[in-house]
Structure 1
Amino acid sequence: MSIKYTVIERGEPGVTGGGIKKWYAQVKYDGEMTIDNLVDEIEKFSALSEADIRGVIIALENVIQKELVNGKIIRLDKLGSFYPSLSSSGAETEEKFTSTLIKSAKVNYRPGKRIEDALSVADFTKDK
């Protein structure tokens, strides 16, 4: 299998009118994997039942959610890490900064080495 891509034209960021336009690769997604699909695939490599696998995935989701809102980094060994980050407006001094200046929180993901390595040797095929 390979990662399919298309080529799109983009202008320069921040330049009025787009500036000099160039062509860039963009992933052409080939569907998605749902929890049902993941359970089916995991069953092939495991002695666990469908219900057990589904239960573990849902429990993992619940624990990750709970711990992220408590400011924890979730390290899942070879799978990678999930960690919270913030976006805020600035304040003139540290004393003037309040939590009302925080605009949003989001989750970042840093893949583990095996996942990064898998993508580093991926093949690419231009979609027609």
Structure 2
Amino acid sequence: MDVVALIGRILFALLFLGSAFGHLAKADAMAGYAASRGLPQPKLAVLGSGVLMLVGALLVLLGIWIDLGALLLVIFLIPTAVLMHPFWKETDAMAKQNEMIAFQKDIALAGAALLILALYAGYGSELGITITGPLF
């Protein structure tokens, strides 16, 4: 099961590593989208969320304080779902559907990150191949 847990961590982290790269490499373009959603200091928000995803994903991927890494991803995902994908505000049916899918994806990923946090905080290095035990 250790290998299965490691593969699961790798697959989970890859999504966030790709997104973090996009946030950091294309900050100006992404800041325009964040500004259209009404975020104050949109470029700072994009860069900050990119760093949050990068650090969280690397911790989960590498097996270093996985519980902290998962918590950082939850801290990114919940506000992102609410602030960037408010499907309840959309009037166009297609836009509403797209935002609802993005919202539900972020909430589901937050749930998975919470599960990772709970499992690794509870079982520590007994679960999967890790470099350190849990921080919490």
Fold-level similarity (TM above 0.5): no
Q: Which has the larger radius of gyration?
A: 1
Query: Which structure is higher in helix share?
Result: 2
Query: Which structure is higher in strand share?
Result: 1
